[in-house]
Amino acid sequence: MSKKRDLGVVYPGEELGVEEEFIPDHGVYVDKNGYIRSLFLGRVLIDSVRKTISVRRVNQKILIPKINDIVEGVVTSTSDDIAFVKIYSVNDRYVRSIDFTGILHVSQVSTEYLETIYDAMRIGEVVRARILSINYPFQLSTKEPVLGVIVAYCSNCGNILYKRDNKLECVNCGSVEKRKISNLYIYR
């Protein structure tokens, strides 16, 4: 009896594993280096008993971000120069059943100089950004006034920050913080 696992949606050419790990089945190919890759946009299925990997086409139309689309997402990790964003909305339409990741370089955050991305956003905050490239992960920009952080949290106590002038203020502990704030910031 087969035991199949669905590992989610993948893009054409996305690396799924190696020949030594799985037997390639339908919807995949092996490149010259022995990596198993997806032939098309679809869902990855692994049969742990037969040791096969396949990709099944997705029948429903999937909303895939394009260049210049506006996306919203949650910052999942940061370093000094980049932030990773899990995208949940494209052009104000929620994306279901697929995970998109965007990457935001510090040079694309603001028109002003920033020493580190931490000066503009933190993990867990919600950002609105523009898609710059269709290569995965999607390259993002928040340079425009309507783009940037739309929900932020206090670094001291974790409460929601409220917009006061060009700063964000915590009503719980009084902390005042700076972010790359969107004109569409939710809490005022």
Contact residues for 146 (Cβ-Cβ < 8 A; gap 6+)? 128, 182, 183, 184
Determine whether the annotation assigns residue 173 to a binding site. yes
Q: Coil, helix or strand for 112?
A: coil
Whole-number CA gyration radius for the chain: 20
170 is in an annotated binding site: yes
Check the CA dihedral 104-106-109-115 and report its sign. Answer: positive
Instruction: Tell me: is residue 157 an annotated ligand-binding position.
Output: yes
- Cα maximum dimension of the chain: 63
| Alpha-carbon gap, residue 81 to 70, rounded angstroms | 22
List all residues 6 or more positions away from 82 whose beta carbon is below 8 Å from its beta carbon.
103, 104, 105, 106, 117
Residue 57 annotated as binding site: no
Distance of alpha carbon 184 from alpha carbon 177, whole angstroms: 17
Alpha-carbon distances, residue 48 vs 1, 2, 4, 39, 42 (angstroms): 10, 7, 6, 21, 19
Feature table: binding site: 154, 157, 170, 173
Feature table: binding site for Zn(2+): 154, 157, 170, 173
